[in-house]
């Protein structure tokens, strides 16, 4: 099997860095994702496909061809014509066809698609909306068969997650646009009054504040009603604003109502012949906007998390754990803090994959990640280094203290119930800052050396 001609691994990091510019341009975001996919995985063609509601058709929303730097769309695949491929999609797992022409999941494409285009390998990662599969991001390697690495799969999964987020933002933007149009068409609630009387109002004001027309005869009753249905802190803030600007000033403040709604209120003096005769209040319901802002902040947090987390285990990914290790080393030099690095490898992991399948192997990786998070200290940093290897940065821990911590983790792993579906152990190598090196490279090299010593010594041990 052949390897890709040229990877550009930093393409994904660059996309994550500039992602915010695409928040208002979902179609541009999809094109950026397919281009990044082609460059990051070193494939000729990358595309995003979406399922219809019945999951009977798969439509290409963007196909990028790297050599021609060309985008296209519109191709439709039908489940009736490709039953094996659609059955593979229904498992909602990544399809890594290293030999696309003969893999049972993708060989249906051979005669009409793969062979004519010279496609030797396919890597399809699922795109989800919530827990529901909505499509795939496809990576098409032109050339001979190709072995997809763990990094390839991880990068494909990350790009699939970005595509999922893009679709969610696009759907939310469409809903928000409709709600905004509706709000604008109904207008704002208007109330004009002097110190004693209501001078004017509109129907929208009555609807927003759920008032009877009779109540509008007395301005003090209107003020009391607004105060009764507004959060006390909001009332205090708005009153302070009006007091500060005086009768001739304008104010804009936000009122949080006791029923959960949020109004923006503008207050301006009402002038007749340049004389102030009262004030005009306009109220705009901004509840939807506030919720949308909150949702967008949550989406930004999710995107940041995607950039630093391993898609399978939820631990820090390799790039981020190495950044954290470097920061911890620098901080240790300043504070005089002890620091130990552990490099961990799950024993006989290849045998688990070979005998039980990759789904069982993935389950072991997720289980081990949870075990580490439950057993280690809150100050310890844990990341997936690659494959079945993990890195732990134990701050404020000399070598022997770190060994005791990991020994407790190792013993606890072996003491779990015997009826577990897959039992496993791990080996670890330790390296301490100062004694074993002063840089991430030096510490990891020493930890790796001791890890292999643990392996040679019989595994299931810490050196």
Residue bearing the bigger pLDDT, 201 or 35: 35
pLDDT at 222 over 90: no
> Which CATH code for domain 10-180?
3.30.450.40
Q: Strands (DSSP E) along 73-110, which ranges? A: 76-78, 95-97
| Tokens read off for 397 | 């821990």
Number of Cβ within 10 Å of residue 68's Cβ equals 10
The CB-based long-range contact list for 113-118 (8 Å cut-off, 24+ gap) reads: 117/45, 117/142, 118/142, 118/143
Mean pLDDT in residue range 11-38: 83
Number of Cβ within 10 Å of residue 282's Cβ equals 20
62 contacts 71 by C-beta, under 8 angstroms: yes
One-character DSSP codes across 249-284: --EEEEEEBTTS-EEEEEEEEEEETTEEEEEEEEEE
161-220, pLDDT tens digit by residue?
A: 888 888 877 776 665 555 444 434 456 888 888 877 887 778 888 888 888 877 777 788
CA distances from 317 to 83, 147, 154, 304, 341 (A): 36, 22, 10, 12, 16
Q: Within 13 Å and on the Cβ side, how many CA atoms surround 77?
A: 23
CA separation for the pair 284, 413 (Å, rounded): 58
Sign of CA dihedral 407, 412, 415, 418: negative
107-119, pLDDT tens digit by residue?
A: 999 988 899 999 9
Q: State whether residue 426 is helix, strand or coil.
A: strand
Q: CATH classification of 187-289, choosing from 3.60.40.10, 3.30.110.70, 3.30.450.20, 2.40.30.10?
A: 3.30.450.20
Q: Nearest-CA neighbor of 370 among 429, 425, 424, 313?
A: 313
Domain boundaries, the chain: 10-180, 187-289, 309-456
When computed from its CA atoms, the radius of gyration of the chain, rounded to whole angstroms, is: 30
- Report the chain's mean pLDDT, rounded to a whole number: 85
330-375, pLDDT tens digit by residue?
A: 999 988 889 999 999 999 999 999 999 989 999 999 999 999 999 9
Residue positions annotated with a catalytic role: 388
pLDDT of residue 384: 95
Instruction: State the chain's maximal CA–CA distance in angstroms.
Output: 96
255-294, pLDDT tens digit by residue?
A: 889 898 999 888 888 766 677 777 888 888 888 888 887 7
For helices 358-375 and 399-414, angle between their N-to-C axes, nearest 10 degrees = 130
- Residues in Cβ contact with 116 at an 8 Å cutoff, skipping those fewer than 6 apart: none
Number of Cβ within 10 Å of residue 69's Cβ equals 9
What CATH architecture applies to the domain 309-456? 2-Layer Sandwich (3.30)
pLDDT of residue 2: 41
Q: Nearest-CA neighbor of 143 among 96, 101, 82, 107?
A: 101
Q: Nearest-CA neighbor of 147 among 285, 41, 296, 299?
A: 41
Q: Nearest-CA neighbor of 202 among 226, 192, 194?
A: 192
One-character DSSP codes across 14-74: HHHHHGGGGTT-HHHHHHHHHHHHHHHHT-SEEEEEEE-TTSSEEEEEEEEETTTTEEE--
pLDDT of residue 224: 83
pLDDT of residue 5: 42
pLDDT at 32 over 60: yes
Mean pLDDT in residue range 244-250: 62
- Rounded to two decimals, the pTM is 0.41
pLDDT at 134 over 50: yes
Q: Nearest-CA neighbor of 203 among 226, 223, 187, 221?
A: 187
Q: State whether residue 103 is helix, strand or coil.
A: coil
10-180 and 187-289, same CATH topology: yes
Looking at residue 188, what DSSP letter applies? -
| Tokens read off for 331 | 């901080």
pLDDT of residue 346: 95
CA separation for the pair 71, 28 (Å, rounded): 11
49 contacts 79 by C-beta, under 8 angstroms: no
């Amino acid at each position: 099997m052949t390897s890709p001609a040229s990877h550009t691994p930093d393409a994904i990091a660059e996309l994550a860095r500039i992602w915010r510019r695409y928040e208002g341009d979902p179609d541009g975001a999809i094109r950026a994702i397919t281009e990044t996919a082609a460059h990051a995985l070193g494939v000729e063609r990358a595309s995003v496909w979406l399922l219809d509601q019945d999951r009977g058709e798969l439509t290409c929303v963007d196909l990028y061809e790297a050599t021609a730097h060309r985008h296209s769309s519109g191709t439709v695949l039908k489940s009736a014509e490709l039953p094996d491929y659609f059955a593979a999609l229904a498992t909602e797992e990544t399809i890594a066809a290293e030999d696309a022409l003969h893999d049972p999941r993708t060989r249906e494409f051979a005669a009409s698609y793969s062979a004519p285009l010279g496609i030797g390998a396919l890597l399809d990662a699922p795109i989800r909306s919530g827990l529901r599969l909505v499509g795939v991001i496809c990576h098409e390697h032109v050339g001979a068969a190709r072995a997809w690495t763990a990094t390839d799969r991880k990068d494909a999964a990350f790009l699939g997650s970005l595509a999922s987020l893009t679709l969610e933002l696009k759907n939310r933007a469409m809903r928000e646009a409709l709600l905004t149009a509706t709000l604008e068409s109904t207008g704002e609630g208007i109330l004009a009054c002097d110190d004693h009387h209501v001078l004017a109002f509109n129907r929208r004001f009555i609807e927003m504040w759920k008032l009877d027309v009779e109540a509008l005869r007395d301005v003090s009753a209107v003020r009391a009603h607004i105060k009764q249905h507004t959060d006390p802190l909001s009332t205090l803030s708005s009153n302070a604003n009006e007091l500060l600007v005086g009768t001739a000033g304008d104010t804009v403040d936000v009122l949080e109502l006791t029923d959960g709604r949020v109004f923006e209120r503008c207050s301006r003096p009402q002038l007749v012949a340049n004389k102030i005769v009262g004030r005009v209040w306009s109220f705009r319901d901004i509840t939807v906007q506030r919720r949308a802002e909150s949702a967008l902040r949550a989406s930004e947090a999710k995107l940041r998390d995607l950039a630093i987390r391993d898609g399978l285990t939820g631990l820090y990914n390799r790039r981020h754990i190495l950044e954290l290790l470097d920061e911890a080393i620098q901080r240790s030099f300043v504070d005089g803090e002890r620091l130990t690095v552990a490099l961990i490898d799950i024993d006989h992991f290849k045998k688990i994959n070979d005998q039980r399948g990759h789904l069982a192997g993935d389950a072991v990786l997720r289980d081990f990640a949870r075990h580490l998070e439950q057993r280690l200290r809150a100050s310890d940093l844990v990341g997936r280094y690659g494959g079945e290897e993990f890195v732990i940065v134990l701050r404020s821990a000399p070598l022997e203290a770190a060994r005791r911590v990991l020994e407790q983790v190792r013993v606890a792993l072996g003491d779990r119930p015997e009826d577990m579906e897959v039992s496993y152990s791990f080996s670890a190598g330790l390296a301490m800052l100062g004694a074993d090196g002063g840089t991430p490279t030096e510490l990891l090299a020493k930890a790796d050396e001791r890890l292999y010593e643990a392996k040679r010594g019989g595994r299931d041990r810490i050196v």
